[in-house]
Amino acid sequence: MHVLVLGGTTEARALAESLHGRGERVTTSLAGRVAAPRLPGGEVRIGGFGGTEGLAAWLREHRVDVLVDATHPFAGTISFHAAHAADLARVPLLALRRPGWVPVAGDDWHPVDSLAQAAEALPALGRRVFLTTGRMGLSSFAHLDDLWFLVRSVDPPQPPHPPRMRVLLDRGPFTLDGERSLLAGHAVDVLVTKDSGGAATSPKLTAAREAGLPVVVVRRPPVPEGVPTASTAQEALAWVTGPASGR
């Protein structure tokens, strides 16, 4: 069996490691947006496919038996490309998507639909912003010259970006004590995050709740309908290696 995993997430790496450990052929495809990604076991390819038709051709050429879309919840249009390509190549498709975060008592969440809407909401919520949406999309906040930003990302961001900004290069998982210290040490009074889900970056939400800070949460973009979905790597492994995949 040859499984192509559209990766870039913790769940994608875990699934690839499990398949590789079972002796299955697995190829993980990474977009190449991170300079030094964490590589899973098995084969790895980096870069795009050239759209839907290119992905479908790759599936046929490399005799892929199962396609798993385990991309980041905010990866954009790749999930729609995967659904269309799987139809064209007649390859079973599974979406591996970790659940989004859910507010609990004490949270002061302000949901928005885009980074642009997040930028619009900020001036009324705080002056010192902890921006944890990654290095992509900082142009949405570049006009907010009255606010100060602490930007955390894996790789250095490129302009345009906010003029008053400090960059913290780091990658999860993060600890609750570390997030508490970060908020207090930089006098942060508002947090901005995407609803990425997962435990690796969720401590910031707990730290913000404890500090009574407002949190601007960017909702996830739409995904293709009718695609079988798993919420964990273990569920995905059972689907891929079991009768559910329809192989």
Is there a contact between 16 and 28 (Cβ–Cβ < 8 Å)?
yes
Beta strand residue intervals within the chain, DSSP E:
2-6, 25-30, 43-46, 66-69, 93-96, 108-112, 128-131, 148-153, 165-169, 190-194, 214-218, 229-230
CATH of the domain at 234: 3.40.50.720
Q: Tokens in use for 113? A: 């639909």
236: domain range?
A: 2-99+222-245
Q: Residues 115, 25: one domain?
A: no
Q: How many residues does the chain have?
A: 247
pTM listed for this prediction: 0.90
Q: Tokens in use for 38? A: 């964490």
Q: Residues 229, 195: one domain?
A: no
Strand partners, 45: 29
Residue whose entry in the numeric block shows the structure tokens 């290069």: 169
**Omega of the bond prior to 173 within 30 degrees of 0, cis?**
yes
Closest CA to 28 of 11, 10, 14, 16: 16
76 φ/ψ angles, rounded to the nearest 5 degrees: 95, -130
pLDDT of residue 75: 86
Q: Residues 200, 228: one domain?
A: no
Q: Residues 124, 75: one domain?
A: no
Is there a contact between 201 and 172 (Cβ–Cβ < 8 Å)?
yes
Q: How far is CA 145 from the centre of its chain?
A: 28
pLDDT of residue 199: 87
Q: Tokens in use for 73? A: 């919840």
- CA angle 54–60–63, rounded 5-degree value: 135
Q: Residues 165, 148: one domain?
A: yes
Q: Residues 144, 239: one domain?
A: no
Q: Residues 214, 226: one domain?
A: no
C-alpha distances (whole Å) from 118 to each of 98, 126, 151, 213 are 23, 12, 14, 15
Taking 70 as the pLDDT cut, the residues of the chain under it are 35, 247
Instruction: Read off the DSSP letter of residue 190.
Output: E
Q: Residues 213, 230: one domain?
A: no
Q: Residues 165, 214: one domain?
A: yes
Distance, CA of 222 to CA of 205 (rounded, Å): 23
Strand, helix or coil for residue 165: strand
Q: Residues 61, 46: one domain?
A: yes
Q: Residues 231, 197: one domain?
A: no
Report the b/e string of 203-224 with b at 16+ CB within 10 A. bbbebbbeeebbbbbbebeeee
Distance, CA of 209 to CA of 193 (rounded, Å): 14
Q: Residues 118, 202: one domain?
A: yes
Count of structural domains within the chain: 2
